[in-house]
Amino acid sequence: MIGVVGAGGDVTGCLESLEATPGVEKAVRISAPYKFVSKEFRKERTIIKVGRAEIGGDEFITMAGPCSVESEKQIMETAEAVAAAGATILRGGAFKPRTSPYDFQGMEGEGLKLLAKAREATGLAVITEVMSDRDVDLVAEYADILQIGARNMQNFALLKVLGRCGRPIMLKRGLSATIKELLMSAEYIVAHGNPQVMLCERGIRTFETATRNTCDISAVPVLNELTHLPVIIDPSHAAGKRSLVPALAKAAVAVGADGMIVEVHPCPEKAVSDGAQSLTIEGFREMMRTLRGYRELWKQEREAEMPLAV
């Protein structure tokens, strides 16, 4: 896969000679400011396989778990419960980006080990956040997917290192990042060598205060028009309030997202972070039951759209 970047001008001749070059299958002119991540460059959707999950495929993938890894008991109990309810990926923060330096900063290395232990016990794959290019190797040792938080979406030094980390990346949209900027940040990772990137809409910052952020649900169909990368919704951070999460999860399925990442805690009122937006285990179970029907509808629609294979 080779992309050529230039300063515009007439490149028709150039494309033709490229195609004539041995080993070159096809040369495509791309006009968007991103290239590898665009649908013009690659028509088939990217599918990322992690554990038993195929992100970008037929199933709606659920990543669930606590905001922060707090203790062995907490993460093991949650992992087992979310696995039983249908999640295939375990989330849990070991390195925590906190607005205040006086808030809990995460269990760090210890937290990573607990996540790995929960994976062994449950077969769930693990996603966790990495906050610094210095920690990429360490986190990649334990996690199946590296999460880049909203506040690091344009941490370009980090993005470059992710290109060489050998793990799939979930890149969260910045609090006030445009969809185009999100795609360009993804392009950084792909252009530096890692094509396994999924994008995450987690709510944008607006004037509205009834929700923590504003879930930009339109971002899903917009991204599905522009890119082949999988799109994940984070209804927990978007809403900031437990009771709104199931409705946003259903909306995510309805608009064609590939999955969601959702906060679940065995005892939200005791959570060290994000308790207000964490589902209880029972609440998560119930939500998972209602989502199935929605994905079935989505599959039927997709089949109806597809030409019959002969």
Q: Footprint of a second copy on residues 100-119 (CB under 8 A)?
A: 100-102
| Interaction of residue 181 with a second copy, rule CB under 8 A | yes
| Interaction of residue 307 with a second copy, rule CB under 8 A | no
Q: Could you tell me which of 199, 141, 194, 193 has the C-alpha nearest to residue 174?
A: 199
Q: Which of 33, 109, 123, 193 binds a second copy (CB under 8 A)?
A: 33
**Contacts for 149 with CB less than 8 Å, ≥ 6 apart:** 97, 129, 131, 172
3-state secondary structure string across 118-142? HHHHHCCEEEEECCCHHHHHHHHHH
Q: Which is nearer to a second copy, 14 or 76 (CB)?
A: 14
Q: Could you tell me which of 106, 110, 102 has the C-alpha nearest to residue 72?
A: 110
Structure tokens at 100: 């205040």
| Interaction of residue 31 with a second copy, rule CB under 8 A | no
| Interaction of residue 94 with a second copy, rule CB under 8 A | no
Q: Footprint of a second copy on residues 183-222 (CB under 8 A)?
A: 184-185, 187-188, 191-192, 204-211, 214-222
Q: Which one of 9-17, 21-29, 75-83, 155-163 is the stretch in contact with a second copy (CB under 8 A)?
A: 155-163
Find the shortest distance in angstroms from Cβ 267 to a second copy: 18
Residue with tokens 């909306």: 251
Q: Which is nearer to a second copy, 272 or 281 (CB)?
A: 272
φ, ψ dihedrals at 179, nearest 5°: -60, -40
Which residue type does 184 have?
M
Q: Which one of 45-53, 67-75, 112-120, 129-137 is the stretch in contact with a second copy (CB under 8 A)?
A: 129-137
Angle between helices 281-305 and 72-85 (to 10 degrees): 40
Q: Which is nearer to a second copy, 90 or 111 (CB)?
A: 111
Q: Which one of 9-17, 84-92, 125-133, 275-283 is the stretch in contact with a second copy (CB under 8 A)?
A: 125-133
Residue with tokens 């460059």: 41
Q: Which of 98, 164, 270, 299 binds a second copy (CB under 8 A)?
A: 98
